[in-house]
């Protein structure tokens, strides 16, 4: 009788422990659900330019990621272990160049911020801290949860950029929201100086709001004032008629 009671008790404890672990995983999975925007990427101690990740979006549903950046769309399966310290995550690509490969990493969920530090190469050793260094073979990715105010549909905006009356090719045009909770929009100019603004996906436009405009182009005569967020005189309010004409003067 005593032996029977012991076996029942042991089985009960095992089941309770397994349920508690599953509950912890479920809670973090629930926290991850939704849409996240990419804030920063650091690889081997070097941060990628903001322009390179502008508009990148992560949608999490039921144990799967859907990552979008421009024309690139990746489907990713993830596995969490929040009981570890730091919490661990295994990421497996379901399509793309890394299809079928698994990357080991660690993660942290802090309010509206989601951080992942993982190996650049598949099946490599899992990192132990949220940091990268030169030749570390690690990348640190930070996402921010999209707030309800940010989920409006951007208005398509076509623009042109000229300097002293001539079109400027290869210039970076960035709209920085005046409001703290706004989303920036950006674009690169073509040969004829034309551009399409991007907020979430390529060419989708800009969200409603007031913006400061920053224009930069290395090796050009564009005045420095236009590339300084604190001094730029350029302003824009969206939505508008869908056109943005920037006529700059050389320094």
Check residue 59 and give its pLDDT: 87
The model's pLDDT over 47-66, given as tens digits with 9 standing for 90+, comes to 998 888 877 888 888 778 88
Residues 215 and 138 in one domain: no
Residue 18 located in a structural domain = no
CA 53 to chain centre: 7
Residues 138 and 188 in one domain: no
Mean pLDDT of 155-181: 89
The model's pLDDT over 84-103, given as tens digits with 9 standing for 90+, comes to 999 999 999 999 899 999 99
Boundary (domain end) residue, out of 117, 146, 175: 146
**pLDDT at position 19 over 80:** no
CATH number at residue 66: 2.40.128.270
The half-sphere exposure of 7 on its side-chain side, counting CA atoms within 13 A, is 4
Token pair for 247: 């006529």
Check residue 2 and give its pLDDT: 44
Compute the mean pLDDT over every residue in the chain, rounded to the nearest whole number: 84
Measured distance CA(47)–CA(44) in Å, rounded:
8
134, with CB counted inside 10 A (0-12, 13-18, 19+), is: exposed
The count of domains in the chain is 2
Closest to 106 in 3D by CA, of 133, 139, 60, 144: 139
Find the domain containing 51 and state its range: 34-146
Cβ neighbours of 127 (radius 10 Å): 22
Backbone phi and psi for residue 20, each to the nearest 5 degrees, phi listed first: -65, -40
Q: Which residues are 61's β-sheet partners? A: 64
Residue 5 located in a structural domain = no
Measured distance CA(119)–CA(127) in Å, rounded:
7
Q: What is the DSSP letter of 154?
A: P
**pLDDT at position 34 over 60:** yes
The model's pLDDT over 105-131, given as tens digits with 9 standing for 90+, comes to 999 998 889 999 999 999 899 999 999
**pLDDT at position 16 over 70:** no
Boundary (domain end) residue, out of 146, 178, 203: 146
Residues 165 and 114 in one domain: no
Measured distance CA(12)–CA(144) in Å, rounded:
40
Q: For the whole prediction, is pTM greater than 0.75? A: no
3-state helix, strand, coil in the chain (%, to 5): 15, 45, 40
CATH number at residue 226: 2.60.40
């Amino acid at each position: 009788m005593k032996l029977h009671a012991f076996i029942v008790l042991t089985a009960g404890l095992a089941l309770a422990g397994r349920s508690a672990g599953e509950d912890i995983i479920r809670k973090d999975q629930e926290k991850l659900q939704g849409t996240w925007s990419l804030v920063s990427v650091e690889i081997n101690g070097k941060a990628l330019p903001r322009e390179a990740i502008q508009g990148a979006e992560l949608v999490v549903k039921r144990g799967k990621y859907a990552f979008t950046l421009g024309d690139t769309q990746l489907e990713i399966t993830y596995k969490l272990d929040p009981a570890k310290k730091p919490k661990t995550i295994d990421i497996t690509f379901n399509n793309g160049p890394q299809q079928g490969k698994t990357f080991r990493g660690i993660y942290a969920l802090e309010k509206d911020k989601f951080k992942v530090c993982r190996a650049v190469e598949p099946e490599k050793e899992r990192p132990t801290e949220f940091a990268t260094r030169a030749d570390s073979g690690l990348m640190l990715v930070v996402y921010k949860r999209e707030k309800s105010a940010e989920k409006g549909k951007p208005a398509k905006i076509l623009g042109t950029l000229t300097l002293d009356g001539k079109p400027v090719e290869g210039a970076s045009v960035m709209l920085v929201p005046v409001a703290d909770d706004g989303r920036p929009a950006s674009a690169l100019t073509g040969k004829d100086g034309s551009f399409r603004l991007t907020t979430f996906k390529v060419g989708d436009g800009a969200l409603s709001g007031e913006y400061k405009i920053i224009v930069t182009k290395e090796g050009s005569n564009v005045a420095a004032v236009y590339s300084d967020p604190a001094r730029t005189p350029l302003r824009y309010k969206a939505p508008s008629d869908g056109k943005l004409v920037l006529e700059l003067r050389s320094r």
